[in-house]
Amino acid sequence: MTTSTLNPIFALTEHEFAKQRDTLNLIASENYPSPKVLQLLGSVWSNKYAEGYPGKRYYAGNQFTDQLETFVQQKALQVFDKTGEYGVNVQTLSGSPANAMVYLTVLEYNDTILSLNLANGGHLSHLHTTSNYKKFFKHVTYDVAQNMEQGHLNYEIDLADFKAKLEEFKPKLVIIGFSAYPRAYEFAPLCKLAHEHGALVLADIAHINGLVAANLHDSPFKAGADGADFITMTTHKTFRGPRAAMIFAKNYIPEYTWYQPEKKVDGLIGKINKTIFPGTSGGPHMNKIAAIGQACLEILGEDTYPNGIPFAEYSKLTIETCKALENGLANGGLEIISPTENHLCLVKLPETTDSWEFQHQLEQVGIITNRNSIPFDTKTAMRPSGMRFGTAALTSRGLTTEQAFELGNTIGQFACGVITAEKVSEFVSDLLKKLHWYYS
């Protein structure tokens, strides 16, 4: 059957399939899950209504959903928790709702949340000036500070500002986790500071959870006050699973924070579970839960991605290709914003370049990216000064460090007007021939 004979939805799906196959995806929050993950998303698990939790469902016929959800919970904890202090909920639907579940679990009206400034690397779901959650909660931001590192301007979390905001505003919840932050960081110093000031800590590791799972980035899963109280994550970025999410939380109520409910028997994870069901949600999406489990199996080495490369090696390659891409971007003439230590990098475009238009120009030649604010940006959020690039997706397709450098160099030269769109298009076409595509 040709595309022209398909109904509009299947025709659009064919177009999207071809677009993904025939372009270079440098969006840091996207990846290519294994065909098995996609197979489970479209499986009969999608048919089953499993309202409740294993052993406590409200509908009949959940023998196998109970087994599935319990199995996935066990595997998720096996991937991340070495302390035995955490439980996990795999029913939350995506990353932003996962963060909202934490807010609704422990905060009251007018309580204060402290998070990184959105413009300087934070995330929309951590509250911002236009967030609807500001109807219910107060919001204060900490920031990044400039320093020089081996001749490069660098922006890192401003610990002095972080501590000052804790002392001045006494937030009930502190969020540690970022959307456009190229640096590695340690959780324990930030968690301990927050806990010393009585706050609960939410670590949002949506971007780096695959690196954490591969032991290539510090983990927020730590015992006692060194660790985060809640940990949220999506499962589709460096984790290379489905578009879904998980929430981990301490299986006890910490004594070092303000939050001391009358009933402590179910711990923080129990409070989260009640917020999700019956507090805010109905039936979980069992197809997503199954697909999360498959991603966990691939991370644990109990199943494999089509290329057979172990997950830890893939994650190491992702960091290496990102650094090579960044080096190429710099070689091509672009300014690097904080040398990368993870899967993403930030650059500043030439002052006369419109990031909106340049993003469109890159898409026209087959490179998919996103424009992005840089720290202390003087331009608007819709037309910011920078671009964000990530290599998790192309590394899944087999991108090498040499290819990443040339790709970055090509983008840099294009942005600086050194080469034409035709030259970039030729480069993209040639590189695509060398990359894998695992979907039939």
Active site residues: 49, 51, 204, 234, 237, 243
φ and ψ at residue 251, rounded to 5 degrees:
-90, 20
| Helix (H), strand (E) at residue 142 | strand 138-142
Nearest to 134 by CA among 107, 106, 95: 107
Burial of 261 (0-12, 13-18, 19+ CB in 10 A): exposed
- The rounded distance, in Å, linking the Cα atoms of 361 and 120 is 25
AA letter at 62: N
CB 333 within 8 A of CB 413: yes
Nearest to 194 by CA among 230, 221, 232, 166: 166
Write the CA distances from 268 to 231, 240, 263, 408, integer angstroms.
11, 27, 11, 44
Write the CA distances from 244 to 190, 235, 392, 428, integer angstroms.
27, 5, 17, 31
- The rounded distance, in Å, linking the Cα atoms of 292 and 236 is 9
- The rounded distance, in Å, linking the Cα atoms of 253 and 393 is 38
Nearest to 294 by CA among 28, 33, 47, 78: 33
- The rounded distance, in Å, linking the Cα atoms of 395 and 436 is 10
Write the CA distances from 110 to 7, 90, 151, 167, integer angstroms.
50, 29, 44, 18
- The rounded distance, in Å, linking the Cα atoms of 190 and 172 is 15
From first CA to last CA, the distance across the chain in angstroms is 15
Give me 174's structure tokens: 């502190």
